[in-house]
Chains A and B, each alone.
Chain A
Amino acid sequence: MHDHKECKECMQFLALLSDYQDGELDLALVGKFEVHMGDCERCQAVVKTLRQTIVYYRTTRCTAVPRDVHSGLITALRACMDPED
């Protein structure tokens, strides 16, 4: 196994990792990197663990506001909708 820091191809790949992840890389580059990854376990692992990191964070998205927080918000809004109340 080679060292990331020593490998120009790894470094080139890592710089474009985010674009690769988002499917925004040039097809020619994608092909080049997939060939590289075929031989480079380190880059493969970085890609997979990055993808999973994003998946984990996606699950932390808030999908509902706590009931008391919602009530507090409605109260604050009523106060500004009818200031004389």
Chain B
Amino acid sequence: MTDHTNPTDTELVARARAGDNDAFGLLVERHEANVYGLCIKMLRNPEDAEDCLQEVFVKAYKALPSFREEARFSTWIYRIATNACLMRIRKKKLDTVSLDQPLELGEAEIPRDVADWTTDPASMVMNEELGGVLTKHINALPANNRIVFVLRDVHGLSTEETGDILGLSVPAVKSRLHRARLFLRERLAHYYASGGAVA
């Protein structure tokens, strides 16, 4: 059944493919926050993210004729976005040396800080300082692990969809996610252990 007040992505894609630019505009409105959020987390700065956001939707618009009807638009747009982000990261590596040295993922394989900070109410408040700490640590993840963590845990996509977007097998997604999670858990534990969250 078609609900004209709330068309599905599939209906909007069909209309956009037939030349209805307003339908494409609605798809943009639905998906721009996901794409922009992904770009910010991957590229680490708002200017690059904005640039990449435009690139992604312009590419999608131009590629509409090649969109397979049976695919999900959200998966497709995520795929265009991840490719665009990874391409930019690869290019940037040539001219920028990361100031915050990438940390060895291996360091988190065996958890060291194992105090349970979740029982302390003061540590359970999300504030600007904690937000900054979360950003700093996710930025320290290698791009290959970061992208999996962002899709799975920040955006809440399934393992299968993440694999589909990245062209990775389910075990490959799981192993990258596992390492990213342990790394971030360890970093956050270290932050609390060294007196973080004390107002």
Question: Is residue A60 contacting chain B, with contact meaning CB distance below 8 A?
Answer: yes
Question: Is residue A29 contacting chain B, with contact meaning CB distance below 8 A?
Answer: no
> For residues 22 through 36 of chain A, which have their beta carbon under 8 Å from a beta carbon of chain B?
22
Are the C-beta atoms of A46 and B111 separated by less than 8 Å?
A: yes
Q: How large is the interface on B (under 10, 10 to 19, 20 to 34, 35 or more residues)?
A: 35 or more
> For residues 125 through 165 of chain B, which have their beta carbon under 8 Å from a beta carbon of chain A?
126, 130-131, 134-135, 138, 149, 153-156, 159
Contacts across chains A and B counted by CB atoms under 8 Å: 118
Question: Is residue B17 contacting chain A, with contact meaning CB distance below 8 A?
Answer: no
Are the C-beta atoms of B126 and A77 separated by less than 8 Å?
A: no
Are the C-beta atoms of B185 and A50 separated by less than 8 Å?
A: yes
Question: Is residue A59 contacting chain B, with contact meaning CB distance below 8 A?
Answer: yes
Interface residues of A, count at CB 8 A: 40
Question: Is residue B50 contacting chain A, with contact meaning CB distance below 8 A?
Answer: yes
A-B contact pairs, 29 of them (CB 8 A): A4-B111, A14-B182, A18-B181, A18-B182, A42-B111, A45-B114, A48-B118, A50-B181, A52-B117, A52-B118, A58-B153, A58-B154, A60-B131, A62-B34, A63-B33, A65-B32, A65-B33, A65-B53, A69-B36, A69-B46, A72-B50, A73-B28, A73-B50, A73-B53, A73-B54, A74-B28, A76-B58, A77-B25, A77-B54
